[in-house]
């Protein structure tokens, strides 16, 4: 009994504290898609970000370093400062990479289509409404195709991109995007009704030119909203969601 001594208790080592990243300051226009893409990438990495609206080009400041450039170079800089999880594109040959590429291409298709509608309406205004009802019907058919692509793109965002946004530190981004989609619907329906009204008017009617101006303004407003609400986030964001979903399915199968 006298030789017995209590064994020393093994101390449980506490995990090292998580590395605290400095707050990144982001400067740029609120309507700039590059600024929003950089902001989402930082939130995806759980990095605190402060956004300062300016009229100049997009740049970020991390401590004493200030970096300016295109989106890809800014994302590479962010990856060098905050390696995990990576924000630069994943292999596009994978299933998730292909889905992400399809989302980005669809986003660009929507932008180009809206840009074409804006130019078309502006040409009609500057040309005094030449073409009349036939031109209005052509405009209506092209706009109908645009609406279909926009609705498909919104559904793809909700299925692929929003889960990644919800996994970020700022869930308000997802909520704001949903609200933007809901607010866009009345505007899109209003444009459709304006085109129908144009198709029923005579080109020489006094209110025809005013209706054209109103339609051109609506298209320009829609273009500005598309830039903000339809944001390509980067391929790894989607890939990470797919991997997490696969892991959850495997864990659930073990419990069955």
Whole-number pLDDT of residue 80 = 83
- Same domain for 66 and 131, yes or no, is no
Tokens of 193: 């009704």
CA–CA distance, 53 with 31 (Å, rounded to integer)? 9
- Same domain for 111 and 214, yes or no, is yes
> Given pLDDT bands bounded at 50, 70 and 90, which one contains residue 246?
very low
Strand, coil or helix: what is 183?
A: helix
Residue 190 counted as domain residue: yes
CA–CA distance, 204 with 97 (Å, rounded to integer)? 52
Whole-number pLDDT of residue 137 = 86
- Same domain for 226 and 129, yes or no, is yes
Q: Tally Cβ neighbours within 10 Å of residue 241.
A: 19
Domain of 57 in residue numbering reads as: 24-81
Residue 130 counted as domain residue: yes
What backbone phi and psi angles, to 5 degrees, belong to 51?
Answer: -105, 130
- Listed residues 56, 81, 106: the one ending a domain: 81
| 205-209 long-range Cβ contacts below 8 angstroms, 24+ apart | 208/129, 209/125, 209/128, 209/129
> How many structural domains does the chain have?
2
- Same domain for 106 and 190, yes or no, is yes
- Comparing 57 with 256, the larger pLDDT belongs to 57
- Listed residues 47, 81, 115: the one ending a domain: 81
Residue 102 counted as domain residue: yes
Are the C-beta atoms of 195 and 136 separated by less than 8 Å? yes
**Residue 91 pLDDT > 60, yes or no?**
no
Strand, coil or helix: what is 226?
A: helix
The residues that bridge with 68 in the sheet, in sequence order, are 59
pLDDT in tens, 207-238: 888 888 888 888 888 887 776 544 444 434 44
- Same domain for 132 and 235, yes or no, is yes
Q: Which residue is listed with tokens 């209506």?
A: 140
Sign of the four-CA dihedral 18, 20, 26, 30: positive
Residue 20 region by backbone torsions, left for phi larger than 0, else alpha for psi between -120 and 50, else beta: beta
Residue 204 counted as domain residue: yes
Calculate the CA 228 to chain-centre distance: 7
- Same domain for 119 and 240, yes or no, is yes
- Listed residues 81, 109, 126: the one ending a domain: 81
Q: What is the side-by-side order of every strand in the sheet holding 49-53?
A: 49-53, 24-28, 59-62, 65-68
Residue 31 counted as domain residue: yes
What's the CATH number where 221 sits?
1.20.120
Are the C-beta atoms of 204 and 12 separated by less than 8 Å? no
Mean pLDDT value of segment 59-73: 85
Residue 148 counted as domain residue: yes
**Cα Rg, the chain, nearest whole Å:** 25
């Amino acid at each position: 009994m006298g030789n017995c001594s209590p064994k020393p208790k093994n101390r449980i080592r506490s995990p090292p504290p998580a590395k605290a990243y400095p707050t990144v300051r982001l400067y740029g226009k609120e309507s700039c898609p590059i600024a929003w893409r950089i902001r989402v990438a930082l939130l995806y990495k759980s990095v605190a970000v402060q956004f300062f609206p300016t009229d100049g080009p997009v740049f970020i400041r991390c401590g004493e370093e200030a970096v300016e450039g295109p989106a890809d170079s800014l994302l590479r800089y962010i990856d060098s400062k905050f390696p995990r999880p990576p924000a630069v594109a994943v292999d596009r040959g994978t299933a998730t990479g292909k889905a992400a590429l399809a989302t980005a291409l669809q986003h660009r298709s929507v932008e180009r289509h809206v840009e074409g509608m804006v130019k078309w309406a502006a040409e009609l205004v500057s040309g005094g409404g030449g073409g009349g009802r036939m031109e209005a019907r052509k405009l209506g058919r092209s706009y109908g195709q645009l609406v279909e692509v926009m609705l498909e793109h919104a559904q793809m965002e909700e299925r692929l991109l929003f889960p990644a946004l919800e996994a970020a530190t700022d869930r308000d981004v997802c909520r704001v995007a949903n609200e933007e989609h809901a607010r866009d619907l009345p505007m899109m329906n209003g444009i459709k009704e304006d085109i129908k009204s144009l198709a029923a008017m005579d080109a020489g009617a006094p209110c025809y030119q005013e209706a054209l101006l109103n339609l051109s303004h609506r298209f320009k407003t829609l273009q500005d909203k598309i830039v903000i609400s339809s944001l390509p986030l980067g391929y790894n964001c989607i890939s990470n969601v797919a991997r997490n979903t696969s892991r959850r399915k495997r864990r659930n199968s073990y419990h069955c």
